[in-house]
Amino acid sequence: MAMEKTVVLIKPDAFQRGLVGRILSRFERKGLKIVGMKMVKMSPGLAKEHYAHLVDKPFYPGLEKFMTNEPILVFVLEGQEAVEVVRKIVGVTNSRKADAGTVRGDYSMSTGRNTIHASDSIETARAEITRFFAPEELFDYNLKVWDYIYAEDEKE
Ligand code: UDP
Ligand code: MG
């Protein structure tokens, strides 16, 4: 068990479909702490870095166009095992295969329009935090309900 930070992007399809608030509220109600948040417009260069593992795929040009044409919401969530917890809430890449109850399972029918991104490992999360946020854009505030979200032996 370890306190982790992870990155979530809410993609342009979620903005168009009025899902931003509903998606965000799922992470809030789970007990994840929001430690950074902003709207950004991804540049093609940033997209190539963010999707470096996919730049050679046939669908990449469409993915880049989709992710850079309109603004997205980027936020950082903190919690015990946050990377894994958030990926579970998000669901698998192909929304048609994603479990009901996950964001993708409940709100999308698509792989290329799957509403959300989340870091897939602790290392990726670290790289994504640096990619999207300056140090002063992350906040180390005291969440007063922390004692009710975690037991004594779960806080560090
Ligand atoms: N993607 C796509 N077609 C594919 C695979 C991926 O359009 O066949 C898009 C999809 O939006 C996905 C993103 O590329 O969310 C990143 O792919 P990755 O394999 O990293 O999936 P994720 O981590 O988002 O589940
Ligand atoms: Mg990924």
Look at residue 17 and tell me whether its pLDDT is greater than 90: yes
Closest ligand relative to 114 C-alpha: 1
Q: What is the CA radius of gyration of the chain?
A: 15
How much distance in Å is there from the Cα of 125 to the middle of ligand 1?
Answer: 16
Pocket test for ligand 1, best of 9, 48, 54, 116 (most atoms within 8 A of CB): 54
- Any idea how long the chain is? 156
Q: Whose CA is nearest to atom 16 of ligand 1?
A: 51
- Tell me what pLDDT residue 153 has: 95
- How do the domains of the chain map onto residue ranges? 4-145
Active site residue 53: no
Q: Whose CA is nearest to atom 17 of ligand 1?
A: 93
- pLDDT per residue over 28-83, tens digit each? 999 999 999 999 999 999 999 999 999 999 999 999 999 999 999 999 999 999 99
- Tell me what pLDDT residue 92 has: 99
Q: What is the CATH number of domain 4-145?
A: 3.30.70.141
Band of pLDDT at residue 156, cut at 50, 70 and 90: confident
Q: In what order do the strands lie in the sheet with 33-40?
A: 33-40, 72-80, 3-10, 116-118
